[in-house]
Homo-oligomer: A and B are copies of this chain.
């Protein structure tokens, strides 16, 4: 059963009171906070919240209000968003195979999250891309490595970019010559890709800003 808006307000107050004052409120304090004129108003709300299983009341005990874990499901939208953002700031999505046409950070592309903050890298990383193939071997970027990528469409000559060419994601060094873009591998076994920008579109997904090898169940040592 869901909480009413008023009940959610009361629950928010309980949480705030606990976090700011270090103890649960009395009925009288709830009354004062909401401008009620009767302690029963507070009591009724507490009973309703208990019945719905989000708090626990300890009979007889002053301030005997306990927030249960389930109460977190009823966090206000704003708080939920803030929490999710805080959690995301401490981890990076790992992008594996990229489905054709889909945005690189769309749900199906994200394999998992890696517990490393994006601003560990400079400029900050927005996601990690699992490298496929040996085309950047001589730049120390190997098959299976996780490439930290700063998501931006702006790239300059000489930077290592993550680019999308006809729905293929590729990591290369960018070279711009007038209306021509060259995507240079770092491996003599591969050939440069030449893109005539007046006829084809080259989508720059981001810049390589770092690299992780050997994490997440892909042991280097056996």
Contacts and interface: CB of A to CB of B under 8 A. Distances in A.
Nearest to A116: B116
B210 A120 contact: no
Contact of A210 (B160, B209, B213): B213
Interface string A96-122: 000000000000000000111100111
A64 interface: yes
Contacts of A145: 140
Contacts of A66: 21-23
Chain A, interface size category, equals 35 or more
A159 B221 CA distance: 7
Interface string A151-174: 000000001100000000000000
Contacts of A221: 122-123, 150, 159-160, 207-209
A31 to B, nearest CB: 15
Given A63-B63, A66-B22, A115-B116, A219 B209 contact: yes
Nearest to A156: B221
A115 B120 contact: yes
A118 to B, nearest CB: 11
Interface string A17-53: 0100111101000000000000000000000000000
A212 B209 contact: no
Max count, chain B CB within 10 A of own CB: residue among A116, A141, A215, A218: A215
Contacts of A142: 140
Contact of A26 (B62, B120, B214): B62
A195 interface: no
Contacts of A63: 23, 62-63
Given A116-B120, A123-B221, 18 more contacts: A22-B24, A22-B66, A23-B61, A23-B63, A23-B64, A23-B66, A26-B62, A121-B215, A122-B218, A140-B142, A160-B220, A160-B221, A208-B221, A209-B220, A211-B211, A211-B212, A211-B214, A212-B212
